[in-house]
Amino acid sequence: MATIHSTAIVDPAAELADDVQVEAYAIIGPHVSIGRGGVIKSHSVVEGPTIIGTDCHIGPGAYVGLDGQHLQFLKKPLEERRQCWLIIGNNVLIRESASVHRATHPGRERATRIDDNCTLMGAAHVGHDSVLESHVILANAALLGGHCHIGQRAFLGGGCTLHQFNRVGRLAMVGGNQAVGQEVPPFAAMLWGGLKGYNAVGCRRAGISRAGIFSIRAAYQCIHTYRTKTAAMAAMRQIEPMTGEICEILEFYAKCKRGIQPSVQHLDRRIEEESSD
């Protein structure tokens, strides 16, 4: 039977695995399911419909599964809002004062989703309808607007902010305090407002082959050389051998809707051109 502190409030309609621990002053609403090994630390609030997998630790003082901060959505009847989901995978850590909001569209298939082995550090925020693939890390106070999509093993530094409907590719790294208004492709390292290069340490730790790393380096040389997305893609298609990593970058570019963060080299040139004028 779940261990529930005497000061905690757990709705009878919530489903808790036998070994779940609910600490002091935590509140768990109806239509919440928490898998085995779960710990809901003190003063945390979990609302539903929300599914939380196994071995997840939430809080203290975290807010999970609340309504999305979307003005039109909040005008809808409660019954309609209660058809919008949050799904959290296994071994997810959500630390103090972090917040994750449910989707604004009904149905599990359109849920806000946090996949396995993700970490949200203190005061991080995941907006409505966002998706975090597995092993994503959000450092302290990293903030995601609604409808963001973060690829596997991406790292977002402390205090960075993502515009809504934005994407960050697999194994990308975003530096602290960066304002991300456009998309960050796979394997990128973003700093000083643009793409500084590729995430060498992250790629190496992820076990990408030597040939794959060489091709990523060549692809980012194309990005630094050509200002437009079309020209950069054309240059990347000429790289030999055409590895899976280059195909992944090209596919990301092809699906881009908000534009790609520019190379810092292009930003430096623009500053020089403006100063010379």
**Nearest of 172, 174, 145, 146 to residue 160 by alpha carbon:** 174
Residue tagged 């009847």 (tokens): 77
Which one from 38, 70, 129, 145 is the annotated catalytic residue? 129
Active site residue 129: yes
Active site residue 146: yes
Tokens representing residue 38 in the block: 């779960």
CA dihedral 112, 96, 72, 161 (to 10 degrees): -80
CA dihedral 173, 130, 251, 213 (to 10 degrees): 20
Tokens representing residue 21 in the block: 């621990």
Beta sheet of 21-22, edge-to-edge order: 3-4, 21-22, 39-40, 57-58, 93-94, 119-120, 137-138, 155-156, 173-174, 188-191, 194-198
**How many residues can be counted in the chain?**
277
- Are 14 and 32 in contact by the 8 Å Cβ rule? The answer is yes
Q: Do strands 137-138 and 119-120 pair parallel, antiparallel, or not at all (unpaired)? A: parallel
- Are 57 and 51 in contact by the 8 Å Cβ rule? The answer is no
Spacing of C-alpha 150 from chain mean position: 4
Active site residue 128: yes
d(CA 113, CA 96): 19
Which one from 146, 175, 197, 202 is the annotated catalytic residue? 146
Which one from 70, 128, 135, 149 is the annotated catalytic residue? 128
Q: What would the DSSP string read from start to end of 201-258?
A: HHHHHTT--HHHHHHHHHHHHHHHH-SSHHHHHHHHTT-SS--HHHHHHHHHHHT-SS
Residues annotated as part of the active site: 128-129, 146
